[in-house]
Amino acid sequence: MANFEKTSVKEGTRTELHDALHLTGAEVSINTLPAGASVPFVHAHKQNEEIYGVLSGAGKAEIDGECVALAAGDWLRISPAAKRRFFAAENGSITYVCIQVKEGSLGAFTAADAVIG
C-alpha cells in the first residue's frame, strides 16, 4: 500500500475529503455558496477549531454576532465554541476550504516534525 492518497475535487457545493483521502487527524471540505446564499444553520464545535481559506469570490462570516468580511486570499481561524455561519456576497459566489482539527493537538510542525533523508 502506498503512503499517500490522491483525489480530485469536482465543481460542486460541498466536497468532504475525510473518506476520499482516509484522513486520520483532520477533516477538510471544499465549499461553494452561490451568490446571495448562506450555510443554512449556525454551528459551533465541542473540540475542533476550524480554519477557513477563501479560494475565490467574496462574502462574510458571522461569528458570535460579529460580521467579518471575506475575500479571496483571506484565512480565518475560529475557536470551537464560537457560533458561526457563512454567507456569499449578494452579487457573486464564494468558494472556501474548511480544515477542522482538534484544538491544541498540534505537537510539532514544519522542521520540528520533519525527518530528513
Residue 87 lies in a domain: yes
CATH number assigned to the domain comprising residue 56: 2.60.120.10
Per-residue pLDDT for 1 more than 70?
Answer: no
Residue 79 lies in a domain: yes
The bridge status of strand 48-63 relative to strand 14-16 is: unpaired
Residue 103 lies in a domain: no
Residue 48 lies in a domain: yes
Domain that holds residue 76: 28-91
In the prediction, which pLDDT does 9 show? 87
What digits encode the pLDDT tens for the residues 89-115?
Answer: 999 999 999 999 999 898 888 878 888
Angle at 32 between CA 63 and CA 24, to 5 degrees: 80
